[in-house]
Amino acid sequence: MKKFLIVLGVVIGMLLILGYVFRGVLQFAVMAYMMRPDAGFAETTPPAAPDYTIESNWAALPSREDAADRTPIANTSTLQSAADVDVFFIHPTTLLGGDGWNQALDDEEINGRTDYSTIMGQASAFNACCRVYAPRYRQATLLSFFSPQGDGGDALELAYRDVVQAFRFYMDNYNNGRPFILAGHSQGGFHLDKLLGEEIAGTPLEAKLVAAYPIGYYIDDSNGIPVCQSAEQTGCQATWNTLSLDASSGGSPDSICVNPLNWSANGLHAGFDKNLGSVSFERNQGKEDNYPDIEPGVVDAQCRDGALRISAIRSENYGRSFITEGNYHLYDYSFFYMNIRENAVVRSKAYLAGK
């Protein structure tokens, strides 16, 4: 009996150790199980397709007040009305689970999550340079990215069709020949990569592209758009995926990484002093008169092996990892918010000066 208890204790101890070591994997396995729709994509009826003549099918429009109007600076209003450039922004995944593989556009809970997280905290970075257009679309559920050859791939393809439809509607009805920026994050970056290759590269629209920011998804340069090498370059794309120094990368060494602290892809380290300010609107959701803190110098950054590496986080406001420890996907915009905001203005001015 004593020997049995000793062996049992050893086994339990080993299981606890393994559970701790692989806690990220175990947590994701549980999360994936909880997120999985009840039926396969082919067995479900997709939500109704969007009608982009209806304003409620846009998360942001410059003609109305919305979450993209928020600014991090008190007593500073959005500058969209005077902007000579547009931005077309594709929001990231906010559909974390549910009955189906794609979002119904009349789901007010998901729409609210989209507006008061990604539109307010990401798309708003462009309201100093540009008029902000952000379509709602039948986004694929988060689990889709972990089954891209099956149901998830079908869900992502459906979502992309909406993005293309929204972009073409924007060009036909809102753009009026103006230069534009394309921006997105995560699922938005995934769709933007494809949009750049199919709708922009090698077409007359490429001459109107100020810059593209398909942030938060591992992509290479196969979409045909040059990689940004400086802060003033136009007609180029900049993207990154933020990780700690020792976190494993989900991409490859060939993935594009442009450092948002020096806007270079050459791997040069940029110190904390180059960070103009991290911003988290999520800590102030729905509080129109409560501006978030702008925290300069929260992170440094260096592109290495296809990912953006940070050595430390000098703030208590950014402590969450995404799925695995050291993956700071959730803060790809927040860490570098003020640098993105400034750079969008710089590239817009450079484009307009070179017309």
Please write the tens of the pLDDT for every residue from 55-83.
999 999 999 999 999 988 766 667 788 89
Asked if residue 20 has pLDDT above 50, the reply is no
**SS3 of 210, please?**
strand
pTM here is: 0.88
Cβ pair 119, 59 in contact under 8 A:
yes
Q: Where are the domains of the chain?
A: 38-353
Which band of pLDDT confidence, cut at 50, 70 and 90, is reported for residue 270? very high
Which band of pLDDT confidence, cut at 50, 70 and 90, is reported for residue 146? confident
Phi, psi dihedral angles at 48 (to 5 degrees): -60, 140
Of 243, 318, 325, the residue nearest 283 (C-alpha): 318
What average pLDDT does range 299-325 have in this prediction? Answer: 93
What average pLDDT does range 125-153 have in this prediction? Answer: 90
User: Among the listed ranges 65-74, 129-138, 210-219, 293-302, which one has the minimum average pLDDT value?
Assistant: 65-74
**What percentage of the chain carries pLDDT values higher than 90?**
69
**SS3 of 327, please?**
strand
Q: What is the pLDDT of residue 283?
A: 53
User: Among the listed ranges 40-44, 74-78, 177-181, which one has the minimum average pLDDT value?
Assistant: 74-78
CA distance 256 to 331: 18
Q: What is the pLDDT of residue 235?
A: 98
Q: What angle in degrees, to the nearest 10, is found between the helix axes of 187-195 and 151-170?
A: 60
Q: What is the pLDDT of residue 99?
A: 74
Tally DSSP H helices, then E strands, for the chain.
Answer: 7, 9
Of 263, 260, 248, 184, the residue nearest 219 (C-alpha): 184
Which band of pLDDT confidence, cut at 50, 70 and 90, is reported for residue 52? very high
Cβ pair 229, 344 in contact under 8 A:
no
Q: What is the pLDDT of residue 39?
A: 67
What average pLDDT does range 9-28 have in this prediction? Answer: 40
How confident is the model over 80-118, as pLDDT tens digits? 888 999 999 999 999 987 778 899 999 999 999 999 999
Residue type, 318: Y
What average pLDDT does range 134-154 have in this prediction? Answer: 88
How confident is the model over 200-258, as pLDDT tens digits? 999 999 999 999 999 999 999 999 999 999 999 999 999 999 999 999 887 888 899 99
CA distance 150 to 130: 38
Q: Which residues pair with 179 in a beta bridge?
A: none
CA distance 221 to 198: 13
Average pLDDT, the chain: 87
